[in-house]
Chains A and B, each alone.
Chain A
Amino acid sequence: MVDAKIRIQQLSYAYAGEEALRNVTLDVQANAITALFGPAGGGKTTLLRLINRLNDLVEETSMRGSILLDGEDIYAPGTDVPELRRRVGMVFALPLPLPGTIRENVVCGPQLAGVRDWARLEEILERSLAQAALWNEVKDRLDSPAIALSGGQQQRLCIARSLALEPEVLLLDEPTSGLDPISTGKVEESLFELKQQYTIVIVPHSVQQAARVADYAAFFLMGELIEVQEGNQIFTTPRDQRTEDYVTGRFG
């Protein structure tokens, strides 16, 4: 576990005195899907938002410990935060396209980064939509409003929007919570494709989804990382009683 893509070290975090994460240490491997699961309020979303510093926007918080990306502390003074967020993309629980067309949504990130070359943007557009398994469905209406897409399509559009920046890490916060089973299947399939290229950290919306997609699964309970195991072992042979209680449906 030496060459972990992301190393979270003794991380504690609190919102206005309310503890959200307690002494979490976790290595995230490259080119794999790491699933953070557990009951609500466990600190999973907070951890995701700390990895690309989105929680900088929240006031009155306190943090101890560190998060290393490729060995570098992302909270070190002088860190280029926009650049960090380009390297670490985020997909939110609620698919929310930006106002505008499908095309405008996908090329937004590269444009913010200063890409003006039209041909290059076209290339990014097609690649990202293809990676998110959406290209075939929208290629004939790239200039229609993004809001007209179905919920499942909107979520894949949001994934494509993040992929347009060619991030090294993709964070997904319950990306299928509002989707029907078929759309969920499509999103999960695209995750399997994407992990060849990206490091993926996902907060799945169910234990079943965690079991389906995870290469590594980490169980969080009330701000603490209870245990992490490779593959499906955590669901079949959990080491901790609390994990077993949760995955067998005794609570949560």
Chain B
Amino acid sequence: MIDRFVAQRLGFALLILTALVVIMPILFVVGIIVAWGASAVNWEFLSAMPSDGMKAGGIFPTIIGTLLLMLGTAMASIPVGVGGAIYLAEYARDTWLTRAIRLAIVNLAGIPSVVYGLFGLGLFVLFLQFGTSIAAGALTLAIMTIPVIISTAEEALRAVPTEFRTIIASLGGTRWQGIQRVVLPQALPGIITGIILGLLRAAGETAPILFTVAAFYLPRLPQSPFDPTMALPYHLYVISTQVPGMPLEVQYGTALVLLTLVLSMNLVATVIRSYFRRRRQW
């Protein structure tokens, strides 16, 4: 029989080990990308068009493309996602319809991203004749983002105590007035966090933009929402697999830019959440 204290020590050691196993890959990934890519990143890399078969110059159009895609995705997914969450959390009763909606949301979140890509190709690019364009790509990414926004926003809305709604009702307020005046402001940090996390996932995705928007190489920036564009994740895929003789530091430099973009948005989400949590009054 093992001594109880020894057993406890062993247990702790095992748990710490598992925690370290979680952290190690992240440290490795970030470490290697920074170590091998940092030398490639400078102002020219960020602000110049690619040249010499993308082996030299910069990745400016891919950054712009990803930012434009994010903007379009946000514009399409935030109103639908937040509106849907308000409906589900504040208005919907438990009927077969709302149960079906919830089931759909859960299942949407589980669909592989390449399937979204094919769906976007069929619906937006071909059927609606948007062509390979920012509009088609952003809408495809939005469909992928909406379930994330709806479920996190609904959770945030439900976390606001019911009593606030009762008080507003008792003061002669309508349900919508209660939502506007108390519920939404209180749920806002949670909703914003959900939005950013959803957009983050979309920012790094390659498969959904593969067929809908991404261009291998474009000599100029997109001029309208119906132009195709280069985008960071797809560019990374292209230069890593499709272009022979691509300098390693350009690949890692591109990865570093993508990683920085995503992590900094993540940081913003964390800061917003902790800022509002400190100001919360219940």
- Chain A residues in contact with chain B, CB under 8 A? 52, 54, 57, 59, 82-83, 85-86, 89-90, 92, 94, 96-100, 108-109, 112-113, 145, 147, 161-162, 165
Residue B281, interface by CB 8 Å: yes
**Are B172 and A99 in contact, CB atoms less than 8 angstroms apart?**
no
> In the complex, what residues of A have CB within 8 A of residue B168's CB?
98, 108, 112
Contact B167 A85 (CB under 8 A): no
B153-192 interface bits toward A, Cβ cutoff 8 Å, 1 = contact, 0 = none: 0000000010111111111111001000110011000000
Bound-state CA distance A162–B166 (Å) is 13
Known contacts A92-B163, A98-B167, A99-B282: A82-B182 contact under CB 8 Å: no
The docked-state distance in angstroms from the alpha carbon of A162 to that of B282 is 21
A-side contacts of B182, CB under 8 Å: 98-99
CB-CB < 8 A to A112: which residues of B?
Answer: 168, 171-173, 177, 181
B172 touches A54 (CB 8 A): no
List, in ascending order, chain B residues with CB within 8 A of A85's CB.
169-172
Name the B residues within 8 Å of A82 (CB-CB): 172-174
The contact of A147 among B164, B167, B281, by CB within 8 Å, is: B281
Report how far A90 CA is from B172 CA in the complex, Å: 10
Smallest CB gap from A148: residue in B: B281
Q: Is the CB of B185 within 8 A of A99?
A: yes
Which residues on the B side are within 8 Å of A113 (C-beta)? 172
Q: Quick one: CB contact mask for B223-248 with A, threshold 8 Å, 1 for yes?
A: 00000000000000000000000000
**Contact of B185 with A109 in the complex, beta carbons under 8 Å:** no
Question: Could you tell me the distance between the alpha carbons of A231 and B166 in the complex, rounded to whole angstroms?
Answer: 32
- Residues on B lying within 8 angstroms of A by beta carbon are 93, 161, 163-174, 177, 181-182, 185-186, 280-282
Q: Chain A contacts of B170 at CB under 8 A?
A: 52, 54, 85, 89-90, 92, 162
Q: Which B residues are CB-close (under 8 A) to A147?
A: 281-282
6 more A-B residue pairs beyond the given contacts A99-B185, A99-B281, A165-B172, with a C-beta to C-beta distance below 8 A? A52-B170, A83-B172, A89-B171, A92-B170, A108-B168, A112-B177
Which of B161, B172, B177 has its CB near the most chain A CB atoms (within 10 A)?
B172
Find out whether the CB atom of B167 lies under 8 angstroms from the CB atom of A92: yes
| A24 CB, nearest partner CB in chain B, Å | 22
**A108-B172 Cα distance, complex, nearest whole Å:** 10
Best-buried of B164, B168, B169, B182 by chain A (most CB within 10 Å): B169
Chain A residues with Cβ below 8 Å from B169 are 54, 57, 85
**Residues in chain B near residue A99, CB distance under 8 A:** 164, 182, 185-186, 280-282
Q: A-B contact count, CB below 8 Å?
A: 65
A57 touches B166 (CB 8 A): yes
A–B pairs, 14, beta carbons within 8 Å: A57-B165, A82-B172, A85-B171, A85-B172, A86-B172, A89-B171, A92-B167, A96-B161, A98-B164, A98-B182, A99-B280, A99-B281, A113-B172, A147-B282
B181 to chain A, nearest CB (A): 7
* Cα(A83)–Cα(B169), bound, Å: 11
Q: Is the CB of B164 within 8 A of A54?
A: no
Q: Which residue of B lies closest to A109 (CB)?
A: B171
Q: Which residues of A have CB within 8 Å of B186?
A: 99
Closest to B162 in A: A57
Known: A99-B182, A99-B185, A147-B281. Contact between A54 and B166, CB under 8 A?
Answer: yes
**CB within 8 Å for A96 and B163 given contacts A54-B169, A108-B181, A112-B181:** yes
State A57–B166 Cα separation when bound (angstroms): 8
Given contacts A98-B182, A99-B186, contact A108 B171 (CB under 8 A): yes
Smallest beta-carbon distance B77→chain A, Å: 28
Partner of B93, one of A59, A98, A161, A165: A59
- Closest-CB distance, A234 to chain B (whole angstroms): 29
User: Which A-chain residue is minimally distant from B170 (CB atoms)?
Assistant: A90
| Chain B: minimal CB distance from A74 (Å) | 14
Q: How far is the CA of A71 from the CA of B164 in the complex (A)?
A: 31
Considering only CB atoms, which chain A residue lies closest to B178 in the complex? Answer: A112
Q: Which residues of the other chain, A, contact B164 by a CB distance below 8 angstroms?
A: 96, 98-99
Smallest CB-CB A-B distances: 8 pairs: A86-B172, A109-B171, A112-B173, A90-B170, A82-B172, A85-B172, A99-B281, A147-B281
CB distance from B166 to the nearest CB of A (A): 7
Task: For residue B156, give the distance in angstroms from its CB to the closest CB of chain A.
Answer: 15
Q: B281 to chain A: which residues have CB within 8 Å?
A: 97, 99-100, 145, 147
| CB nearest neighbor in A for B173 | A112
